[in-house]
Amino acid sequence: MVWPACLLPLFFAVETVPATRAETVTIAAAADLTYCIEDLNRSYQESHPDTELKLSTGSSGNFSTQIQNGAPFDVFLSADIQYPKNLTSGGFVDPSTLTVYAVGRIVLWTTKPDTVNLDRGIDVLRDRAAVKKIAIANPEHAPYGRAAKSILENSGIWAEVQDRIVQGENIAQTAQFAQTGNVDAGFVALSLLLSPNLKHIGRYIEMDPKLYPKLEQAMVLTTAGSKRPVVRAYFQFLQSPAARAIFNQYGFTLPAPNG
Amino acid sequence: MGAEIWQALGLTFQLASITTLLLLLCGLPLAHFLNSLPNRFGVVLETIVALPIVLPPTVLGFYLLVIFAPQNFFGALWQRLFGQQLAFSFPGLVLGSMLYSLPFAIQPFQSALRGIPRFLIEAAVLEANPIQVFWHVRLPLALRGIVVGATLAFAHTIGEFGVVMMIGGSIPGITKVASVALYNEVQKPNYAVANQYAVILLASSFCLLFAVVLLQRHSRWFDL
């Protein structure tokens, strides 16, 4: 079989892709890291200006599904540990890289502190006149949504508020529902409220960690990513004292440092 | 299939039906009005009406979310009139869907109304007032285009995702339509249930478009 000459450039193109990709790290980060990861990446670029960082933020469940279907991510920072753990069984990620990088904290946030009196604690949600709609992330696939649902259940008010619940696709959208004033209160990640964009907007109270399962957030390298030194270098940075300081600044509790 | 699937599908078809009905009611006079405008205004207005065809649904979703907010004028007015907020409600979705599917109804309506031979209208005007002419002459003669427009608007509303995603809040039985439910199942991930939604949406979309193509090919079906 004779290959037409016009197809030749295609082969060259395919071959040159890895060469340009060598300096690129493609990152999938959970929505609660929306602002935090930008700071982390900025800090990394200062010492590694030649590495190109490509960032996607969104729901952990969505990224997990995409990685199972061959999405070209190198690093996956999930908002829980279950999604990256599940990926290890399918050979999509390198199991030896599974690392808890932070523990998330969830808060009840309102942009209408005059009508929604957070001094009453979570009980304020029972007030139907003041709180007509409550935003949580989708508990079916968003870790912060699951946490919010447990908080409401463990406080014994789930049945009372259920008909006023609005679900965000991920925790960033949940925060946006509250920010636009379309809901009166929302359960959101503390990390989002500590960002420059949302700082000083409204009021929040932190939820008692005893009310919800620990939001252990783990990261993992994909099978393709773990073989590349640039990805490894970025991954090391995420566990460095400099990165831990940034996670800390965004309200995350930190796991014991790895040796 | 589970009750959840039927609930989401039922909601989708309910949304599409109500949207289509309202688009028939407002769309026909609007199409007639647009046709009667002089070129200068007509062109601008027609462009605005056609925008949802090319606009990313996120643009519509974003503006609706801002407009619906109870602290803004329209959101506040609605809440005062109906005692319910628009975002994350079924009426909110209906309003969003009407905007989203507007051109799919209006454009066939307009060309159908435009295609009526002039002499028929001129003859009718001698005997009847404009409203009678609209109901008894224009509408029957434009029936095929009206059915095409209504079917397209219905099908397009079933296919709505981005707008609902942004203003819906995924509330079962109220705003969790089939396209959003399908997305949630893919995220879980629960491919078996996702597939059930997908097959039904695919089949119903095919049937609706099939009807549209049939109608367009058999122009004599609606001849009176």
Q: Crossing angle of helices B3-36/B178-187, nearest 10°?
A: 130
Identify whether B140 is part of a domain.
yes
Query: Whole domain around residue B68: which residue ranges?
Result: 14-168
Task: Report the predicted TM-score, pTM, of the whole model to 2 decimal places.
Answer: 0.82
pLDDT of residue B223: 60
Q: Cβ-count burial of B198 within 10 angstroms (0-12 exposed, 13-18 middle, 19+ buried)?
A: middle
pLDDT of residue B70: 86
pLDDT of residue A241: 96
CB atoms within 10 A of CB B199: 10
**How far, in Å, CA of A171 to CA of A39, rounded?**
19
Identify whether B51 is part of a domain.
yes
Q: What is the pLDDT of residues A53-101, one digit of tens each?
A: 999 998 898 899 899 988 899 999 999 999 999 999 888 999 999 999 9
pLDDT of residue B2: 83
Identify whether B155 is part of a domain.
yes
The three-class DSSP label of residue B125 is helix
**How far, in Å, CA of B105 to CA of B107, rounded?**
6
Identify whether B189 is part of a domain.
no
Identify whether B90 is part of a domain.
yes
Number of domains chain B contains: 1
Is the per-residue pLDDT at B220 higher than 80?
no
Identify whether B218 is part of a domain.
no
Sort out which chain B residues have CB atoms less than 8 A from A183's CB and list them: 88
Read off the pLDDT band of B1 (50, 70, 90): confident
Delineate the domains of chain A, giving CATH numbers in brackets.
5-103+214-249 (3.40.190.10), 106-206 (3.40.190.10)
The letter for the amino acid at B34 is: L
Identify whether B213 is part of a domain.
no
Q: Which residues of B27-48 are buried (b: 16+ CB within 10 A; e: fewer)?
A: bbebbbebeeeeeeeeeeebee
CATH code of the domain in which B100 resides: 1.10.3720.10
The letter for the amino acid at A82 is: Q
Evaluate whether B73 touches B26 at the Cβ level (below 8 Å): no
Would an 8 Å CB–CB cutoff place A20 in contact with chain B?
no
Q: Is the ipTM of this complex over 0.90?
A: no
Q: Which DSSP helix (H) or strand (E) runs through B202? A: helix B191-217
Is A181 in Cβ contact with B187 (below 8 Å)? no
**How far, in Å, CA of B130 to CA of B109, rounded?**
18
- Block means of pLDDT (10 residues each) for chain A, 259 residues, are 46 46 85 95 95 92 89 95 93 95 97 95 95 95 95 97 95 94 96 92 96 96 95 97 97 82
Is the per-residue pLDDT at B218 higher than 90?
no
Sort out which chain A residues have CB atoms less than 8 A from B184's CB and list them: 138, 140-141
pLDDT of residue A211: 97
Return the residue in B187, B191, B193 with the most chain A beta carbons within 10 A, the one to mutate for interface testing. Answer: B187
Identify whether B86 is part of a domain.
yes
| Mean pLDDT, all residues of chain B | 92
